[in-house]
């Protein structure tokens, strides 16, 4: 692997890893107390939960892309 490809993979891995960390953190937050209702099924709460679930589903592919880039850098031998 040429040094330029290794550097590109490293940058992609770092960026997608950072994005994944932020998305998964935001997706893990629960419904704030001020938004909660007694029944737990208001439209506002459902929208909040759907947004958080979307954050998690966007964060998971970023984790795999980041891990794949880092594995590719570690496994493929450099070309001199």
pLDDT of 3 reads 64
Number of domains into which the chain is organized: 1
Q: Is residue 71 part of a domain?
A: yes
What is the model's pLDDT at position 45?
83
- Model confidence at 18: pLDDT above 70: yes
Within a domain: residue 52?
Answer: yes
Boundaries of domain holding 56: 3-75
pLDDT in tens, 29-54: 887 777 777 776 788 888 888 999 99
Which H or E element spans position 7? helix 3-28
Could you give the CA distance from residue 27 to residue 8 in angstroms, rounded to a whole number?
28
**Mean pLDDT computed over 47-62:** 92
**Within a 13 Å sphere around the CA of 68, how many CA atoms are in the beta-carbon half?**
8
80 assigned to some structural domain: no
């Amino acid at each position: 692997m040429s040094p330029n490809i290794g550097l590109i993979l490293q940058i992609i891995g770092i960026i997608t890893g950072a994005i994944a960390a932020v998305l998964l953190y935001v997706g893990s937050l629960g419904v704030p107390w001020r938004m909660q209702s007694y029944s737990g099924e208001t439209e506002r709460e459902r929208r909040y939960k759907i947004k958080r679930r979307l954050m998690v589903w966007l964060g998971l592919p970023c984790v795999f892309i980041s891990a794949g880039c880092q594995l590719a850098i570690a496994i493929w031998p450099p070309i001199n």
